[in-house]
Structure 1
Amino acid sequence: MQRVPVISPLHQTAKTHPHSIAISWRSKGLNIALGYSELSLKVIALGEQLIASGLTGGDRLACIDSNSPELVMLYWACIDQGILFCPLSPRFPPAQITQLIERYTLSHVWAGELHQDLLTQALSHRVISLDFSLTSQPHLAKYQPDRSYPPQSQPARVDAELAANIILTSGSSGMPKAALHSLNNHIANAEGSRSFIPLEHGDSWLLTLPVFHIGGLAIINRCALAGAAVVLQDRDSRLSEQLTTDKITHLSLVATQLVRLLNQDASSLQQVKALLLGGGAISPALLAQLETLKIRSFTSYGMTEMGSQITTGIANEDGSCGHLLPGRELKIQDNEIYVRGETLFLGYLKPHSAAQSLTKSLTRSAEQITLTLDPDGWFFTEDRGYWNEDGNLCILGRCDNMFICGGENIQPEEIETILKQHPEIEEAIVFPLFDDEFGNLPAAIIKGDIPQQSELDALVCSQAARFKRPRQYYPWPEVEQTSLKVSRKQIIEAVLCLESRN
């Protein structure tokens, strides 16, 4: 069946809600906002610049920046032109950025003003410069945003099945894999999310997650489809102040961010309609605070390969992740989780593959994409879990994290969840230490003050078998974090390295 090109959600909303705020941010103490019509015009102008800079459909553009209006504009401009948008973390060192760009044949590179120092000499022939001002295009300079476009600037129609972006996701090997998504993947994910967490025209979602993370990119797509505003986080203000000043209605936080916010000013959450919590189990103490404040909070299970959320539910003390959202399918066999559906990504981009337009048709893209599915089209998540009596998904942990102690299986995440119930513990990682008698014994790395071992033994043994209690506790090492998720491998290696020196 022939595919019909579509106008991106940004341009569609520019027609239906031209004067609604699309994006807002603070710059040098000033509040700046762009309506959907104005943002749409800027994106069209930017797309023309990309083509003038030598890019064409199927090319891959590395974008190095912290969350910024420029990054959001580039995403939509790349969508219009069929260019693969690849945001890279500015926390990566220059050598790693160069390695990733060469590994995945990213043909062109743009870096934000504050991150020009990350561009090595080896990348000089790939670097492009762009003008993000509206007046860069003469036929747009005199145009006042309204419901119609000037004749020269009609929004492009795009093939929503084509690969639209590359998001790097870390595997167990530590080498990031390049996940490819289509615009249709993002639309299906956003619509499924909105079916459970309402998001409407006039709402505002604070972009607390980085755009180089699938959670951040998902917020941009959700807002465009709903006609809501993306609000960039102001790093010069306290989060609690910005929630009140910018009248934030939707917010995504991990537990660490939530703790800081509640310590700053818990009342700043009063006007928030929906708080989406991620990054692992949320302690009962935190949930109790949110309940007292009558904050509607949600937890979810998601992954880069499914475009973000897979299941979502009301946050509760059992640590479950809610029910399946529309556009997704999930099955569990022997506690192993498999997924498929409209949100399933196109696959992983193969290293050193030539640039071309990529689709979900593996017969056309097999040389560039790798995607391992079973005969019925199921993708193995490498996570373990089960459905509880209420029909909510419960995650046991990663398959490759499980280890054996004296012939018994230990899933580290089970013990980590229990340890994080202690009010002094912010984060915990459980891992195996070699033992002559038992093969492995559990040990734990603790972020926060480490209580007495007898106290922690009592806590763990009250909810899990005694053999699962950690025999040794280590303080959290000083390790630079370059991604949203904690790198288990990096933290464990740092602790073992310190131990070997002592």
Structure 2
Amino acid sequence: MMSPLHQAALNHPDAIAIEGRHEAIDPSITTGNKTCNNTCTTTRVSYAQLSGLVHCVAQQLQSQGVKHGDIVACLSHNNIEMICLYWACIDAGWIFLPLSPRLADVQINQLIKRFDLQWLWTDNVSRKTAIEIANWLDIELPQKVDQLINQAVEISPHQASNIILTSGSSGTPKAAVHCLTNHLSSAKGAATFIALAPSDAWLLSLPLFHIGGLAIIHRCTLAGACIVLRDPALTLAEQLTSSHITHVSLVPTQAIQILRQHPAAFTNISALLLGGGVIEPALIDALQHLHINAYTSYGMTEMSSQITTAKANLLGHHGCPLPSRQLRLKDGLIWVKGECLFLGYLTDQGLSLPLDEQGWFCTHDKGQLDLEGQLSILGRMDNMFICGGENIHPEQLEAVLLTHPNVAQAIVFAIDDIIFGHLPAAIIDYCVADNNTNAIGLETVNAKAADLNGVNIDNINLQLSQLVESTLARFKRPRQFFGWPKDIVSSGLKVPRKSIINAIQTQIDAAKTAS
């Protein structure tokens, strides 16, 4: 088959494929007069022009020695070069491995050794000093873009096309390998629920090292829609207000921040897709109050993003499986399969795809289905612990704790107890809250959350215990509270749960030793 990118160039040659602030590639595709450091302009690249750029990038890397089947690593924030590199990998049969720029040099070097990486491209020259890679790749987008869509090659959509690192529950990155068929099946299924047309524009608010970022690329390309790059000079709210954006994917914390600061930013949004974290009822209520067309989803890297999707609702469900996905419950655990299911994890022994005899993949998430087959998530099975014979799902407690105005983030975990086996404890990222609430009912949090002068932490902890008791059950209340470790940096969108718990556990063990 032909690459979806080149097919889009044939079907929608003049449609805008990418819009972003970038050094001018070609005066014919640069519009507007917004400048950045006298070199950065608002650039719009059509699908025909993007097809030509991808062809040029593929030729450049082939001339540097990259061969079919090689892994091409990429260390960069989202930009035009990165998107071109991905589609060049599709054309040439390379495996695209995007890495988070938040990873330290030592972590990058560990990954290079672990996966025997030979090729790496970065747009940050300073990173080249300490990273030990055999070959640095150079990408130079031409100043004049030729429309070379007629030279597009046929590709095999079932071969490995990319690797996404996902920490999962262990804290050690797993290398999830996908093929193009996985992504196209995911995008086609998503389009049956959230419509997307060539006149639409989806903000690339999620990084390409995250499955949600790659999903946006495929959805837009199949539809001939525009991918809008994040403008680092603007806040999310400012960009949503100033740019033509119809679709946006956000994690709940991003949506809450926009609603607190500038709710009018969602006025022209046709679809807001939420995922990747606990979605509080207050957030759903606020979105409904403003008549924002919001959706919630349940998804995972291994299933190429969305599995189920629903209109945002106060019932707490995430809808039914989209096309090309199958889902069932077995002993309360969610199992999935379908065309979106990845090829497996890359290991020293090759690809490993852990399936049962019928080809089902265990998500290790606990869920339940209502009479209409709509899915609700109860939490991670490997996060659950038993307290005095009762199952404790940390996510349930965390959702309650997050409703308190002085809590920015919360993690519940188990501490050992002689009598009950385990007791719940909570790690809290405390913040300062105003006494006033805004019109949509979400507490306005002081931006300087680290400044806790005047905040009575003991009083807040007492309130949190009482809140859990009144909302859930008394035995579920946290017995101890710990402050959020500030030295743990996330390399992705999700909170590094295991690392934070391990840091607090180290404090607990040190205190026991000292006593």
2:480 aligned to which of 472, 486, 490: 472
Matched, 1:300 2:297: yes
Per the alignment, in what secondary structure is the counterpart of residue 67 of structure 1?
A: coil
2:130 paired residue among 120, 125, 138: 120
Structure-2 separation of matches of 1:244 and 1:171: 35
Q: Do 1:321 and 1:394's aligned partners in 2 also have CA atoms closer than 8 Å?
A: yes
**Equivalent pair of 1:45/1:134 in contact (CA under 8 Å):** no
2 CA distance for matches of 1:30 and 1:127?
Answer: 28
Note if contact 1:429-1:445 (Cα within 8 Å) is conserved in structure 2: yes
Q: Which residue in the other structure is 1:80 paired with?
A: 91
Query: Gaps (5+ residues) in structure 2?
Result: 23-35, 432-456
* 2:84 counterpart SS class: helix
Aligned to 2:195: 198
**1:234 corresponds to which residue?**
231
Alignment of 1:304-343 (within 5 A): 304-343=301-340
Of 422, 427, 447, 2:429 maps to 447
Deviation at 1:500, TM superposition (A): 5.0
Report Cα offsets for 1:303-328 as digits up to 9, x if no partner.
11000000111122333222110000
Shift of 1:350: 1.6
**Within 1, Cα distance between the matches of 2:281 and 2:164?**
33
Partners of 1:401 and 1:165 in 2: CA distance: 29
**Other structure's SS at 2:413 match:** strand
Structural RMSD (CA): 1.8
Q: Distance in 1 between matches of 2:174 and 2:204?
A: 24
Kindly provide the CA deviation profile for residues 174-231 of structure 1, in whole angstroms up to 9, marking residues without a partner as x: 2211111111100000011111111111111111111001111111111100111111
Change (3 A) 1:121 1:180: closer
- 1:41 paired residue number: 52
CA shift digits 1:271-306 (9 cap, x unpaired) = 001111112222222222211211011111111100
Aligned counterpart in structure 2 of residue 8 of structure 1, from 3, 7, 11 = 3
- Counterpart CA distance in 2 for 1:228 and 1:485 is 28
- Residue 467 of structure 2: which of 459, 471, 474 is its match? 459
Paired residue secondary structure (1:444)? strand
Pairing 1:398–2:366 present: no
Q: Summarize deviations over 1:64-114 as a string: whole Å, max 9, x none.
A: 1011111111000000000000001111111111111221122311111x2
Write the mapping of 1:381-460 to structure 2, written as runs, cut at 5 A: 381-449=363-431, 452-460=460-468
Counterpart pick for 2:14 among 12, 19, 40? 19
Tell me the CA shift for residue 118 of structure 1: 4.8
Indicate conservation of the 8 Å contact 1:185/1:343, yes or no.
yes
Question: Offset at 1:442?
Answer: 0.3
Q: Distance in 2 between matches of 1:134 and 1:47?
A: 16
Shift of residue 134 of structure 1?
5.0
Q: Name the CA shift for 1:281/1:32 in 2 (closer, same or farther; >3 Å).
A: same
Contact 1:65-1:115 within 8 A present in 2 as well: no
TM-score normalised per structure 1: 0.89
Given that 1:97 and 1:118 are in contact with CA atoms closer than 8 Å, whether structure 2 keeps it comes out as no
Query: SS where residue 7 of structure 1 aligns?
Result: coil
1:159 and 2:156 are equivalent in the alignment: yes
394-403 or 100-109: bigger deviation? 100-109
* SS of equivalent to 2:74: strand
Q: How many residues align?
A: 468
Task: In structure 1, give the amino acid aligned to 2:127.
Answer: D
Secondary structure of 1:311's counterpart equals strand
Identity %: 48
2:17 and 2:430 mapped to 1: Cα distance?
Answer: 39
Give 5+ residue unaligned stretches, structure 1.
1-5, 136-140, 352-366
SS in 2 for 1:452: helix
Distance 1:426 1:118, change over 3 A: farther
Which residue does the alignment assign to 2:435? none
Alpha carbons 1:328, 1:339 under 8 Å: kept: yes
